[in-house]
Chain A
Amino acid sequence: MEKKRIIGLFSGLVLGGSTLIVVLFLGIILWDIFSKGFPSLSWNFVSSFPTNGMTQGGILPAIIGTVLLTFITTLFSVPFGVACAIYLNEYARPNTLTNVIRASIRNLAGVPSIIYGLFGLALFVQALNFGTSILSAGLTLGLLSLPYIITTTEEALKRIPNSLREAALALGVTQFETIKDVVLPKALPGILTGVILTLSRAAGETAPILFTGVAFFINGISASPNQEFMALPYHLYMLSTQHNEIEQVRPLAYATASVLILLVFLLNIIAFYVRFKNRTQD
């Protein structure tokens, strides 16, 4: 009996300790980055251009670049992703074609992000001749986001009870009108949660934009989609590995990392809020 108690105690320690370590990982990451990044954060840092070979000034063009990039990603991936999810949940019959589509989506979600970068380079930059530009990079991230948007949207559609659809159809409404006026409005919060979470992931991606249009430095901000752009994750990468005066720019790298993580967390909090509000309404 005594032995059993000791084993029990030991097991509890191992299990609880493991969980504590996982939580500590997050704590260490956030503590290290925020405690060293926040002192360098200022209004000037987020609202001005880098100066003196990136050793001073701010990251405004990288913030704007990331926002515009994510916008292009959204424009492309949300309509296609939602349409695909609608097809799968509302129209598709359980046949071979549907199974192949589902298997494709699962595989696409597992393709390494750098391979999406190569695909974007071959397709958008070269074959379609968009060049290295924010458009090519945004479309590449759009492709990467597609499987996540489809999966989360389908989950949201699945939660809408069939009785609603049947009621609409029984009133003589066409299937498309049922989807547009009954199903989609009801599923909107769920879809939105998935979309925002996917975009927060896309905004932090670096590998897919490496060869499709990101630049270390640009002189001015232009709204034109065929220009190269700066982005927060790439800026952090360059500041921490490629800069000539790495030690001197370290505080700026910490501050950039803080802004990037805050941006991603902000999107996550919005998604949680939408989900929470939706749950409490039901």
Chain B
Amino acid sequence: MNTVKREQIDSLLKFAFKGAGLLTITLLGGIFFMLFANSILFFLNVPPLDFFTGSQWDPENHYSIFPLLVSTFWVALGSMLIAVPLGIFSAAYLSEMAPKKLQIVLKPIIEMLAAIPSVAIGFLGIVLVGPGLAQIFGIQNGLNALNGSILLAVMALPTIVTISEDAINAVPKSHREASLALGANKWETLFKVTIPAAFPGLIAAVMLGLGRALGETMTVLMATGNSAAIPKGFLDSVRTITATIAIEMGEVPYQTTHYYSLFAIAAILFLITLAVNFTGEFFANRLRKFHS
């Protein structure tokens, strides 16, 4: 092959690779456009005020995102109450206390937890966690917000543990040595020096775990009972945004108000997860700058 031809191929492929890079922007733009174009079609029929302030999700009559939004946050916050302490403590144990050999065993175990498909975890919500909760609290069935929170905590844990551990590991050794040299013991060093120094990274870990919990579909769909009312406690059945889309999109005729409404609630979910992930990224970047 002569040189001219080789150089032509070279510049052609450079162009092709750039095209693949631009595809990612197009894809995000496409998702954005798809959600908001369909939402606009929805808001032509339903006033935005009703959508945000009403109290009922009862398609064909009332389209209010409010109960779905409360349910979504209720389950996700519950999962964080369980997953954040467990995740951060485990990360501290892994990076500060566990012997090297134990670390080598524990890390793949946490990765395995992340690999289990969400539908399998939802299944356990039905057959294991649900009956368990029903027995403990003496209720008819255990398909409620608490069930969803427990399962989402299990799913968010690998993310929280992994990122928290990176954050704790990234704290320079000199911080710890200085603290120990001043006479602090290893616990005082961990709780008063290492963890505060890793704090931005820990927030990033929590935010990315929360993002995952907010956007999860199958586990909450299977485990929370799906009644579209505003929950009053953790033992009430709830219905998240994701579950609503999953249940109703399969049944609605295309291009109806009900159909568009599902894009509108998806758009809100998209904005929420975007904001949560951005916050996580912001703190992760601060951590990187802080340590470099």
Show the binding face of A for B, using Cβ within 8 Å: 4, 7-8, 11-12, 14-19, 21-23, 25-26, 28-29, 32-33, 80, 83-84, 86-88, 90-92, 100-101, 104-108, 110-119, 121-123, 126, 143, 146-147, 150, 174-177, 200-201, 203-207, 210-211, 233-234, 236-237, 240-241, 250, 253-254, 257, 260-261, 264-265, 268, 272
A residues within 8 A CB of B30? 119, 123
Does B139 count as interface, using CB distance less than 8 angstroms? no
Q: Give the residue of A12, A29, A207 whose beta carbon is less than 8 angstroms from that of B120.
A: A29
Does B18 lie within 8 Å of A87, measured CB to CB?
yes
B residues within 8 A CB of A207? 118, 217-218, 242, 246
| Closest residue on chain B to residue A234 by CB atoms | B119
The CB with the most chain A CB atoms within 10 A, among B7, B13, B96, B242, is that of B13
A residues within 8 A CB of B246? 114, 207, 210
Q: How large is the interface on B (under 10, 10 to 19, 20 to 34, 35 or more residues)?
A: 35 or more
Does B97 lie within 8 Å of A236, measured CB to CB?
no
- Determine chain B's interface SS by DSSP, over half rule: helix
21 contacts between A and B (CB under 8 A): A18-B89, A22-B86, A22-B161, A25-B157, A26-B110, A29-B121, A32-B127, A83-B20, A84-B21, A88-B21, A110-B215, A111-B215, A115-B269, A122-B34, A176-B10, A177-B6, A206-B119, A210-B246, A233-B218, A237-B122, A240-B126
B residues within 8 A CB of A84? 17, 20-21, 23-24
The CB with the most chain A CB atoms within 10 A, among B17, B106, B269, is that of B17
Does B14 lie within 8 Å of A112, measured CB to CB?
no
Does B270 count as interface, using CB distance less than 8 angstroms? yes
The minimal Cβ–Cβ distance linking A171 to chain B, given in whole angstroms, is 13
Does B117 count as interface, using CB distance less than 8 angstroms? yes
A residues within 8 A CB of B18? 87, 91
What separation, in Å, do the CA atoms of A22 and B110 have in the docked complex?
8
Does B236 count as interface, using CB distance less than 8 angstroms? no
The minimal Cβ–Cβ distance linking A25 to chain B, given in whole angstroms, is 5
| Closest residue on chain A to residue B128 by CB atoms | A32
